[in-house]
Amino acid sequence: MSSDTPLQLLGGLSATEFLRDIWQQRPLLIRGAFPDFECPLDPDELAGLACEDGVEARLVEEHGEDGPWQVRHGPFDEAVFGELPERDWTLLVQAVDHYVPEVAELLEAFTFLPRWRLDDIMISYAPPGGSVGPHMDQYDVFLLQGMGRRRWQLGGKVADEAPIIPGIDLRILERFEVTPGDDWVLEPGDMLYLPPGWAHHGVSQSDDCLTLSVGFRAPSADEAITSFADYLGEQLPASLRYADAGMAPPDDPSELDDAAVARMRRLILETLDDPARLAQWFGRAMTQPKYVDQLVPREQPTAPAELVAELQAGGELVRCRGSRFAWRALDGERATLFADGDGVTCALPLARALASDAALDAEALALPGAAELLAALLDAGSLSWADE
């Protein structure tokens, strides 16, 4: 589909129009974004997932036994859910797309955005009155109503330093005023897009209210600078140091003068301003898996010849649900394939094929270097056999 083709998902806007006029600028309510939507899992299945080891889950009670806005972290015992009140609580489960293939399939609707920007699909369940309080998030999110009805109220864009309620394990805003007109009840299939920093408050209006949150991540400046500096530190030679050849004798040997500061500044800026190294770091940073323990390396290395035989016999390799892939062209023939925080140089067509959603079967072997790279990704845990 062309980027200029109107999408029902975006309320009739084309992808180009949405990215130009809405994305990271203002909210957008989309009625019937997913017509006749059927939620890919039910509340009992979500609760069951929250009881499993390794799954990130939270239980938020507005009126908990230990005080207001009590937060408990999973995994939970099934008995917990039978002890909860009839209203005013919320269960949140992160990265449901990593565990439920039918949830992961929803991501196909969001291919108008870079795949490496995706964080995960969180799903929340709430009985009547369930909420996590008025708050803001520092990421883009599409809030898709999956089951029941939820009322969303918006309070406009708020400053990073907006006061929050102290002493609780949630970043609930102390003050929240609803913007006139930004007050809606969403039905199944309706969706609300929110850019970063927009205050919002969602409250369940009915039994069995499920909301799917498709979130997109962006590293903060402090995270990016720290991570890039660490990456550079591993790449730079020890001989690259502060130097002051040709300097004038100091008026005072104890003074840290402007010339010395300028030399240090020049060293740092020239070291940082390296587009090739920045791209290599960025690809690795944006493909870091959300949960590293989801990648299980193989105990025994895979021989490329064995992998070839398996593929030719009808086997198929799939990307592990927690894995992230991206690619960047180096020239007309070569590219860096980024996979789960690592990067490897390979043929450009191979990088594009591995980073796409296309099936990895015997046809992939026609690409130069495929057998060796597929074996390495299989051993790293980024790929697995479809029948495993």
Q: Does residue 361 register a pLDDT over 90?
A: yes
Q: What is the pLDDT of residue 99?
A: 94
Q: What is the mean pLDDT of the chain?
A: 94
Q: Burial code of 326-350, b = ≥16 C-beta within 10 A, e = fewer?
A: bbbebeeeebbbbbbbbbbebbbeb
pLDDT tens track for 72-125: 999 999 999 999 999 999 999 999 999 999 999 999 999 999 999 999 999 999
Instruction: Dihedral sign for Cα 314, 315, 316, 321, please.
Output: positive
Q: What is residue 357's predicted lDDT score, i.e. its pLDDT?
A: 85
First to last CA, the chain: 33
Residue 345 has pLDDT above 90, yes or no: yes
What would the pLDDT profile of 91-101 be if each residue is shown by its tens digit? 999 999 999 99
For residues 352 and 354, give the distance between their C-alpha atoms in angstroms, rounded to a whole number. 6
pLDDT tens digits, one per residue of 198-232: 999 999 998 899 999 999 998 999 999 999 999 99
Confidence at residue 358, expressed as pLDDT on a 0 to 100 scale: 83
Q: Taking residues 246-250, what's their average pLDDT?
A: 92
User: What residues are paired with 318 via a beta bridge?
Assistant: 384
Which residues are bridge partners to 59 per DSSP? 72, 91
In this model, does residue 5 exceed pLDDT 60?
yes
Q: Write phi, then psi, for 59 (nearest 5 degrees).
A: -120, 120
Q: What is the DSSP annotation of 306-326?
A: HHHHHHHTT--EEE-TT--EE
Which domains does the chain carry? 8-216 (2.60.120.650), 221-273 (no CATH), 292-385 (3.40.366.30)
- What confidence tens digit (pLDDT) does each residue in 128-157 have? 999 999 999 999 999 999 999 999 999 999
pLDDT in tens, 163-175: 999 988 899 999 9
> What pLDDT is stored for residue 147 in this prediction?
97
Q: What is residue 2's predicted lDDT score, i.e. its pLDDT?
A: 54
The average pLDDT across 320-324 equals 91
Name the pLDDT band for 388 (thresholds 50, 70, 90): confident
pLDDT at 290: 93
CA distance 249 to 51: 70
Span 183-193, average pLDDT: 98
Rounded to two decimals, what is the model's pTM? 0.92
**The amino acid at 244:** D
